[in-house]
């Protein structure tokens, strides 16, 4: 079966949608399908092209039996709503041109965002007479409205019109979570056309020996280490961690020198549109309990995860209904407890709470972030998840509590094992191809 996967992100990008696009392509290629990826030149999350890619409009690579057709796109140095639209539109236009010159596939798998790619996919499907699956990683118009990046009006109605058009023309609409699937149904997608295709995780996660990351950055063994890794953008709402750092510094919970053993240290490792803002705030106030690092290569990321006492996942207020952070799975697959900062009704908060994965607090509550970190450090994480009443526990009790959350995380992650998820989706593509063949 010939499959064209069409999306704006692909490795060597390390974070976001790119790794999942690659996992799909390489899995299908291993299963003897002919796989082509149509994508842009790498730019995310730094929003900066590599020097060797500047000035290139098209390029063809072949990696792990996947043909990769790269297309130029405008990449703004400073991201705004308008510039992001131009960025996405430039990719959609040039990639459509590239797709039309490729052989006809059995099916297109089109990854959104960009939302406008759904219109391009319809054009290609009509011309090439091939169906397309519209894979929704993010409900873009809803998220932009909730973040205040767009205001209700004619343009937003146009975006919702494009969204509706793409959903109605797709053979299937796939969602990364059941919550997004339900949201798609409220937008008019028939249930029989909705496919659950979550972002998978590799199991087991084989972590390096403990201690490497702490030694590299001068963090003592007796420090409670909370880590965040990924995009530093608007919808992540990472300012709450900076505010928590201010509280830790002001009340003495965090000492000012790592070398003397700060009881709580927060690591933010990543890149994105708001990294410079966070860097300025951390340095202006000398928040030594927060360590801001670039996006780490895989080995260093795993070393950080091995040394972490908990992982932190944050969401901006009113965005949890529109996207589900895949970083939750990589954290719990490594048996690490989670401190999530998300709306109580968000899918992230529900997953953490219902499955005993850690502690959730509401966005905009740095005091509760600090209190939750203290309680997880003292071994009273489950109480913290319910009523935030602090009780001191022994080191053994603390480790038992965190280990219990870690075991619960492993059980939760098992249902998202990568090969299982990809195999289910492959079967869906086969069904689409079979139904097309029966019609023709």
Q: In this model, does residue 250 exceed pLDDT 50?
A: yes
pLDDT digits over 85-114, tens only?
999 999 999 999 999 999 999 999 999 999
Kindly indicate the confidence band of residue 260, based on its pLDDT and cuts at 50, 70 and 90: very low
- Phi, psi dihedral angles at 154 (to 5 degrees): -60, -45
pLDDT digits over 19-35, tens only?
999 999 999 999 999 99
Residue 55 vs residue 67, higher pLDDT: 67
pTM: 0.83
pLDDT digits over 420-440, tens only?
999 999 999 999 999 866 544
Distance of CA 188 to the CA centre of its chain: 26
Among the residue ranges 81-95, 211-225, 251-265, 418-432, the one predicted with the least confidence is 251-265
- As a whole number of angstroms, the distance between CA 270 and CA 254 comes to 22
Total residues found in the chain within this entry: 440
pLDDT of residue 393: 36
pLDDT of residue 437: 60
SS3 per-residue string spanning the chain: CEEEEECCCCCCCCCCCHHHHHHHHHHHHHCCCEEEEEEECCCCCCCCCCHHHCCCCEEEEEECCEEEEEECCCCCCCCCHHHHHHHHHHHHHHHHHHHHCCCCCCEEEEEECCCCHHHHHHHHHHHHCCCEEEEECCCHHHHHHHCCCCCCCHHHHHHHHHHHHHHHHCCEEEECCHHHHHHHHHCCCCHHHEEECCCCECCCCCCCCCCHHHHHHCCCCCCEEEEEEEECCCCCCCHHHHHHHHHHHHCCCCCCCHHHCCCEEEEEEEECCCHHHHHHHHHHCCCCCEEEECCCCHHHHHHHHHHCCEEEEECCCCCCCCCCCCHHHHHHHCCCCEEEECCCCCHHHHHHHHCCCEEEECCCCHHHHHHHHHHHHHCCHHHHHHCCCCCCCCHHHHHHHHHHHHHHHHHHHHCCEHHHHHHHHHHHHHHHHHHHHHHC
Within the chain, what is the greatest distance between any pair of CA atoms?
Answer: 73
- As a whole number of angstroms, the distance between CA 113 and CA 135 comes to 9
Q: In this model, does residue 234 exceed pLDDT 90?
A: no
Given a contact cutoff of 8 angstroms between Cβ atoms, the answer to whether 136 and 174 are in contact is: yes
Q: In this model, does residue 395 exceed pLDDT 60?
A: no
pLDDT digits over 276-309, tens only?
999 999 999 999 899 999 999 989 999 999 999 9
pLDDT of residue 247: 93
- As a whole number of angstroms, the distance between CA 440 and CA 427 comes to 20
- As a whole number of angstroms, the distance between CA 132 and CA 436 comes to 11
Residue 113 vs residue 384, higher pLDDT: 113
Beta-bridged to residue 196, according to DSSP, are 175
pLDDT of residue 27: 98
**Distance between terminal CA atoms of the chain?**
16
Given a contact cutoff of 8 angstroms between Cβ atoms, the answer to whether 326 and 316 are in contact is: no
Kindly indicate the confidence band of residue 390, based on its pLDDT and cuts at 50, 70 and 90: very low
The encoded tokens of residue 317 equal 């207020």
pLDDT digits over 342-356, tens only?
998 888 999 999 999
Best mean pLDDT range from 379-388, 392-401, 416-425 = 416-425
Kindly indicate the confidence band of residue 256, based on its pLDDT and cuts at 50, 70 and 90: very low
Q: Spell 120-130 as b/e; 16+ CB within 10 A means b.
A: bbbebbeebeb
pLDDT of residue 399: 54
Kindly indicate the confidence band of residue 400, based on its pLDDT and cuts at 50, 70 and 90: low
The encoded tokens of residue 48 equal 């900066």
Q: Spell 386-417 as b/e; 16+ CB within 10 A means b.
A: eebeeeebeeeebeebbeebbebbbebbeebb
- As a whole number of angstroms, the distance between CA 314 and CA 361 comes to 10
Choose among 426, 359, 437: nearest CA to 35: 426
Q: Are strands 66-71 and 58-63 parallel, antiparallel or unpaired?
A: antiparallel
pLDDT of residue 324: 78
Kindly indicate the confidence band of residue 322, based on its pLDDT and cuts at 50, 70 and 90: low
Average pLDDT over residues 229-254: 86
Choose among 189, 428, 236: nearest CA to 348: 236
CB-count burial class (<10 Å; 0-12, 13-18, 19+) for 263: middle
The encoded tokens of residue 285 equal 């106030």
Kindly indicate the confidence band of residue 145, based on its pLDDT and cuts at 50, 70 and 90: confident
State what percent of residues in the chain have pLDDT above 70.
90
pLDDT digits over 361-372, tens only?
999 999 999 999
């Amino acid at each position: 079966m010939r499959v064209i996967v069409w999306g704006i992100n692909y490795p060597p990008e390390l974070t976001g949608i790119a790794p999942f696009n690659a996992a799909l392509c390489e899995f299908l290629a291993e299963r003897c399908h002919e796989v082509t990826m149509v994508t842009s030149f790498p730019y995310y999350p730094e929003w900066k092209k590599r020097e060797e890619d500047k000035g290139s409009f098209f390029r063809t690579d072949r990696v792990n039996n996947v043909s990769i057709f790269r297309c130029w796109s405008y990449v703004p140095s400073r991201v705004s709503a308008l510039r992001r639209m131009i960025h996405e539109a430039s990719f959609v236009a040039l990639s459509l041109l590239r797709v039309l010159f490729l052989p006809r596939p059995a099916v297109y798998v089109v990854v959104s965002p960009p939302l406008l790619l759904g219109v391009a996919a319809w054009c290609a499907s009509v011309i090439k007479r091939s169906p397309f699956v519209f894979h929704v990683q993010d409900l873009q118009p809803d998220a932009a409205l909730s973040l205040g990046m767009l205001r209700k009006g004619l343009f937003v109605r146009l975006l919702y019109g494009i969204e509706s058009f793409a959903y109605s023309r797709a053979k299937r609409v796939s969602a990364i979570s059941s919550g997004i699937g339900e949201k798609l149904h409220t937008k008019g997608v028939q249930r029989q056309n909705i496919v659950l295709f979550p972002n998978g995780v590799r199991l087991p996660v084989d972590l390096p020996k403990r201690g490497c990351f702490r030694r590299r950055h001068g963090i003592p063994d007796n420090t409670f280490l909370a880590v965040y890794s990924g995009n530093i953008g608007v919808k992540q709402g990472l300012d709450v961690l900076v505010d928590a750092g201010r509280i830790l510094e002001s009340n003495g919970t965090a000492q000012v020198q790592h070398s003397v053993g700060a009881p709580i240290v927060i690591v933010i490792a990543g890149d994105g549109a708001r990294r410079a803002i966070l860097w300025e705030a951390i340095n202006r106030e000398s928040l030594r309990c927060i360590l801001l690092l670039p996006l780490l290569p895989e080995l260093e990321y795993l070393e950080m995860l091995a040394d972490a006492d908990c992982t932190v996942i944050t969401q901006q207020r009113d965005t949890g209904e529109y996207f589900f952070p895949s970083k939750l799975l990589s954290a719990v697959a490594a048996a690490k407890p989670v401190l999530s900062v998300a709306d109580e009704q968000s899918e992230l908060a529900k997953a953490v709470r219902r499955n005993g994965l850690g502690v959730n607090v509401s966005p905009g509550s740095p005091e509760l972030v600090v209190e939750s970190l203290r309680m997880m450090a003292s071994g009273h994480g489950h109480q913290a998840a319910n009523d935030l009443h602090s009780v001191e526990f022994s080191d053994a009790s603390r480790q038992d509590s965190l280990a219990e959350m870690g075991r619960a995380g492993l059980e939760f992650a098992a249902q998202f094992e990568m090969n299982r998820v990809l195999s289910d989706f492959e079967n869906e593509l086969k069904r689409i191809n079979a139904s097309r063949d029966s019609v023709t």
